[in-house]
Amino acid sequence: MSGSRCAASSVAVRRQSPEAVAMAWAAVASRRLRSASAVGARTMGADVLTTQRRDPPSSTSVNSGINITMKTSFRRLLIGCVAASALQVVAPTIAHAQIEASPLIPATLPDGFDKGRNVSVTERPRPDYDPLGVNLGGFTLFPKVDTGIGYTSNVYLTDNNKEGDGFVVFNPAARLRSEWNRHQVQLNAAGAFRRFFNNSVRNEDSYNLAALGRLDVGDALTVTGEAQFAQQFETPITGDVASSLAVLSQYKRDFLSLRGQYGVGQGRLMLAADRSHFAFDPIRLPSGTAIDQENRDRTLTRVTAQAEYAFTPSISAYGQLSYGDTDYDTLLLPNVANRDSDSYRFIAGTNFDLSALVRGTIGVGYAQRNYKSPLYKDVDGLSIEAKVEYFPSELTTFGLGLRRVIEDSNIGNTNAYFDNRGSLRVDHELLRNLILNAIAEYAQQDFIGSTRKTTFYRGAGGARYLINRLLGLQLQLSYIKRDTTGEDLGQQFDEFRGQLTLVVQR
């Protein structure tokens, strides 16, 4: 199909109803012989925070910064780097509209810049308000339930014929953590259930079950295994499928990983392998029509190696090499190969944590994706990962994030794009039990072999009020806008969303 016909189809799509938009984009996707691959799931390589061994871990990663002092053994300060991302995946927020949410499995980023020299506003302990959990012998159970009400001004994320709707949310979660001096076991279970008042087709049922075990082998070696099973919804902030389809797209993910970490002196070596399988459910349109997504089902296998060296207790350098194999379960269409590929990435940079000033990770490297079928053009280019936090005072934290990676696409006549993202966040402790936040985010997707560009803008603000150890309130407001330029424009939209949540925890 010519570029002019693509553009005409895109204009027609924007003038139709939400259901017609979805059907039109499904047809465009099939004709372009592409299969979207963005799922916004957290896996190995998502945000990580290195903590002391018995602190509750915060997220999943093979990567954590070197955390050493001249008087404390390397192992004791690094042994606690374990995963607990299950609760975050389905957290009761408006995360589906966050630009910073990755449309593909995040590239592994050595984000462990926390060497114990700074504490952000959101991390700071609040003994009068932090939950104590339920003591179960050698384990502690942390139960939590969030319930809330919200509103969206554009329930189907369309350009014309916008429809607003309210919704209610119910998000139960529980985390069971061992309290041993050596080794660790952690179990996580979380759900996120959303019900819209007038558009039941947009209802969401998400959940995540996860188990993690860490074995301490001697003083320098740790081995960590993890398994996850999740059902999630795609983020519309993606260049992989039309937003009107993404908000209705649900998938299941199985995840297994094994990683080892060896640290001695001022150096550390890490090796990790993980396997993820994705199974996409049919998209159900308001009329009851179903769009099959079987040709998006796939398995991703990755291996990552990383070496780090600490020059001082505050500054370290790292180099990381990763390989990924993407294998689709079926052909894209009869007698048409799918987008199976091999990917490689090398990135190098520094981790730093300067007391009472700044901490962060900055990495620059090269990424390449080679498709196994000649139908698709190989892609390579610059890769960037950066996250920096600045501490002007104990009451305020500024956070800056930058990212550039290669992603697959099935929009128009493109097969891949560079995903460029930046975010700025401010957290301020107005009172000991009142924390404010403001977020500005920007994303630009440059489609390879095409003049098409998609740009997202998002602004958000919110507050978290801690009533006591058991109760809290959260308010979050956001506005997001998507613009497109060039050939095969695709759908533009904007949305305002607000949500008020009551938090009950133990």
Kindly give the confidence (pLDDT) of every residue in the chain, 506 residues in length, as a single tens digit, with 9 standing for 90 and above: 444 334 333 333 333 444 444 444 444 344 443 333 333 333 333 333 333 333 333 333 333 333 333 333 333 333 333 333 333 333 333 333 333 333 335 445 345 555 668 899 999 999 999 999 999 999 999 999 999 999 999 998 888 889 999 999 999 999 999 999 999 999 999 999 999 999 998 999 999 999 999 999 988 999 999 999 999 988 776 655 666 677 788 899 999 999 999 998 899 999 999 999 999 989 888 777 888 888 889 999 999 999 999 999 889 999 999 999 999 999 988 998 888 999 999 999 999 999 889 999 999 999 999 999 998 889 999 999 999 999 999 999 999 999 998 887 765 556 788 889 999 999 999 999 999 999 999 999 888 877 788 899 999 999 999 999 999 999 999 999 988 887 655 678 899 999 999 999 99
- d(C-alpha 363, C-alpha 319), whole Å: 9
Q: Look up residue 412 and give its two tokens.
A: 């128009």
**466, 149, 234, 189: CA torsion to nearest 10:** 50
What is the rounded distance in angstroms from the CA atom of residue 308 to the CA atom of residue 70? 17
The span from the CA of 319 to the CA of 102, in Å, is 22
Q: Look at residues 388, 145, 407 and name the one whose alpha carbon lies nearest to residue 300.
A: 407
Helix (H, G, I), strand (E, B) or coil at 164: coil
Is the CB of residue 398 less than 8 Å from the CB of residue 426? yes
What 3-state class would DSSP assign to 10?
helix
CB 462 within 8 A of CB 437: yes
Q: Which of 459, 408, 492 is nearest to 98 (CA)?
A: 459
Q: How many CB atoms lie within 10 A of CB 491?
A: 23
Beta-strand ranges (E) seen in 128-266 are: 134-136, 139-152, 165-178, 184-196, 204-217, 221-233, 250-264
- For residues 338 and 25, what is the distance between their CA atoms, to the nearest angstrom? 19
Give residue 76's pLDDT.
Answer: 36
Q: How far apart are CA 58 and CA 46, in angstroms?
A: 10
Query: What type of residue sits at position 164?
Result: G
Q: Which of 208, 212, 177, 174 is nearest to 191 (CA)?
A: 208
Q: Show the DSSP H helices in 210-285 as ranges.
A: 243-246
Q: How far is CA 10 from the centre of its chain?
A: 29
Give the global pTM: 0.76
Residue ranges covered by each domain of the chain: 3-505
**By CB neighbour count within 10 A (0-12 exposed, 13-18 middle, 19+ buried), where does 412 fall?**
buried
Angle at 307 between CA 304 and CA 313, to 5 degrees: 135
What number of other Cβ atoms are within 10 A of residue 467's Cβ? 12
**Distance (Å, rounded) from C-alpha 384 to C-alpha 109?**
10
CA distances from 287 to 19, 157, 241, 252 (A): 8, 17, 20, 24
Q: What burial class does residue 317 get, using C-beta atoms within 10 Å of its C-beta: 0-12 exposed, 13-18 middle, 19+ buried?
A: middle
Give the pLDDT of residue 113: 54
Q: Is the CB of residue 65 less than 8 Å from the CB of residue 113?
A: yes
| DSSP code string of 101-131 | S-SSSPPP-------SS---TTTS--TTTS-
Q: Are 295 and 332 in contact (CB under 8 A)?
A: yes
Residue 316 pairs in a beta bridge with 310, 351
What is the token pair recorded at 108?
A: 């592994």
Distance CA 297, CA 37 (A): 9
List all residues 6 or more positions away from 334 whose beta carbon is below 8 Å from its beta carbon.
Answer: none
For residues 285 and 248, what is the distance between their CA atoms, to the nearest angstrom?
8
Q: What is the pLDDT of residue 392?
A: 96
First vs last C-alpha separation in the chain? 58
Q: Would you say domain 3-505 falls under CATH 3.30.70? A: no
CB of 354 closer than 8 Å to CB of 117: yes
3 state DSSP class of 248: coil
Angle (CA) 432 437 443, round 5°: 160
How high is the pLDDT of residue 240?
Answer: 59
| Rounded distance between C-alpha atoms, residue 257 and residue 50, angstroms | 19
Rounded to 5°, angle at Cα 46 from 212 and 280: 85
Cβ-contact 369, 378 below 8 angstroms: yes
Question: What's the token pair of residue 65?
Answer: 């910064």
